[in-house]
């Protein structure tokens, strides 16, 4: 399908968020997915465990992934899933799309969203896009560009400041930042994307190769993990175990059962390699299937999506086998 772009949104981005994936332009990397681009002026997820059954509120058996070929009658067809996030999410889009759209029961759209939108005019643009797409589920995966100051609510000065911060803002080093970030940024965003009844699957920010950035992601994930307590329509997925991480440790690679090493993350310590994308897609698909009661294809793991050099360039994912 021909990609669609939103000129007004493109004009608000300085290009930084789109330049982090080497190779050909990002618009060419997601095949057979209609890409709606919402990019804006900015320099990227919280409550259930990996791969477990989520008990139903009424005491009945929990949510379970739906087998391919099983078509529950509870939702109109096609079920619509919107994937929203930064360039790390872009690496997750191809396997998730391949697994869902090949069943013929799910439509997937990717909206490039490097950070949660804060500007009211851009949020209005997003609301218009959502009105057209009318998703059943929005999958959020952001982190890298969330490192921005938020307004102070009590008139006091921040304990620390970064370039651009003022006496009326808090930067992420301030212990009050997380509370204000949720109040000023995340909760209003959820108001927007759930206004028409969509559910939200929020993927946390995984550990990365940069230790300081990983510590920020820990703080960010505390905010994301708190969301389901106040937002029944939101669930949280911790990506770390799927990506080979133990605790806060970063895992760039893992060994296959036969002992062969394979890369999970690109050499920049941030973006996904095909195997990392596959592993994260597996747990994401389990949750999508369980949440929406939709089937997932069984033969997507070795698809042609792995060969996309725009998303998974050889120089970013060099072989670990001599």
CATH of the structural domain 4-303, one choice from 3.40.50.11610, 3.40.50.1110, 3.20.20.100, 3.30.70.2190: 3.40.50.1110
Nearest alpha-carbon partner for 150 in 122, 189, 127, 183? 183
The answer to whether 113 touches 144, Cβ cutoff 8 Å, is: no
What tokens appear for 302 in the block? Answer: 């070795």
Beta bridge partner(s), residue 272: 265
CA angle (245, 247, 252) in 5-degree steps:
25
The DSSP line for 224-284 is HHTHHHH-TTEEEE--TGGGT--TT---SEEE-TTS-EEESB-TTSSSBPHHHHHHHHHHH
What are the domain boundaries of the chain? Answer: 4-303
pTM: 0.75
> What is the pLDDT, as a whole number, of residue 74?
54
> What is the pLDDT, as a whole number, of residue 167?
55
Query: Using CA atoms, how far apart are residues 155 and 176, in angstroms rounded to an integer?
Result: 13
> What is the pLDDT, as a whole number, of residue 59?
44
Q: Which residues contact 26 (CB under 8 A, 6 or more apart)?
A: 18, 87, 90, 112, 310
Task: Give the residue carrying structure tokens 């029961």.
Answer: 105
> What is the pLDDT, as a whole number, of residue 66?
57
Peptide bond into 156 cis (omega under 30): no
pLDDT one digit per residue (tens) for the chain, 322 residues? 323 333 333 333 333 333 333 333 333 333 333 333 333 333 333 333 333 333 333 444 445 565 555 555 554 568 999 999 999 999 999 999 999 999 999 999 999 999 998 888 888 888 888 999 999 999 999 999 999 999 886 544 444 444 444 458 899 999 999 999 999 999 999 999 999 999 999 999 999 999 899 999 999 999 999 999 999 999 999 999 899 766 668 999 999 889 999 999 999 999 999 999 999 999 999 999 999 999 999 999 999 999 999 999 999 999 998 8
- As a dihedral over the C-alpha atoms of residue 299, residue 302, residue 307, residue 313, rounded to 10 degrees, the angle is 120
The answer to whether 50 touches 283, Cβ cutoff 8 Å, is: yes
Query: Using CA atoms, how far apart are residues 172 and 176, in angstroms rounded to an integer?
Result: 8
The answer to whether 273 touches 265, Cβ cutoff 8 Å, is: yes
């Amino acid at each position: 399908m021909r990609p669609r772009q939103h000129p007004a949104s493109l004009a608000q981005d300085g290009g930084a968020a789109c330049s982090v994936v080497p190779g050909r332009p990002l618009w060419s990397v997601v095949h057979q997915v209609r890409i709606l681009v919402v990019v804006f002026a900015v320099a990227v997820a919280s409550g259930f465990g990996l791969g477990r059954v989520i008990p139903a509120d009424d005491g009945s058996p929990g949510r379970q992934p739906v087998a391919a070929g099983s078509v529950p009658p509870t939702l109109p067809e096609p079920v619509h899933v919107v994937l929203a996030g930064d360039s790390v999410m872009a690496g997750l889009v191809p396997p998730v799309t391949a697994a869902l759209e090949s069943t013929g029961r799910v439509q997937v759209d990717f909206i490039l969203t490097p950070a949660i939108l804060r500007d009211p005019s851009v949020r209005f643009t997003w609301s218009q896009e959502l009105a057209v797409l009318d998703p059943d589920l929005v999958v959020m995966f952001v982190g890298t560009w969330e490192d921005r100051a938020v307004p102070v609510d009590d008139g006091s000065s921040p304990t620390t400041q970064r370039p651009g911060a003022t006496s009326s803002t808090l930067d992420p080093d301030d212990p009050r930042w997380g509370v204000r970030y949720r109040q000023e940024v995340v909760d209003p965003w959820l108001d927007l994307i759930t206004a028409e009844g969509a559910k939200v699957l929020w993927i946390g920010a995984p550990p990365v190769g940069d230790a300081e950035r990983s510590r920020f992601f820990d703080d960010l994930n505390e905010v994301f993990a708190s969301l389901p307590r106040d937002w029944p329509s939101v669930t949280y997925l911790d990506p770390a175990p799927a990506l080979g991480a133990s605790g806060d440790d970063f895992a760039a690679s893992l060994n296959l059962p036969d002992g062969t090493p394979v890369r999970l993350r690109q050499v920049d310590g941030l973006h996904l390699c095909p195997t990392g994308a596959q592993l994260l897609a597996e747990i994401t698909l389990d949750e999508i299937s369980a949440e929406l009661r939709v089937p997932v294809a069984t033969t997507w793991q070795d698809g042609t999506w792995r060969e996309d050099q725009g998303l998974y360039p050889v120089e970013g994912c060099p072989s670990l086998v001599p």
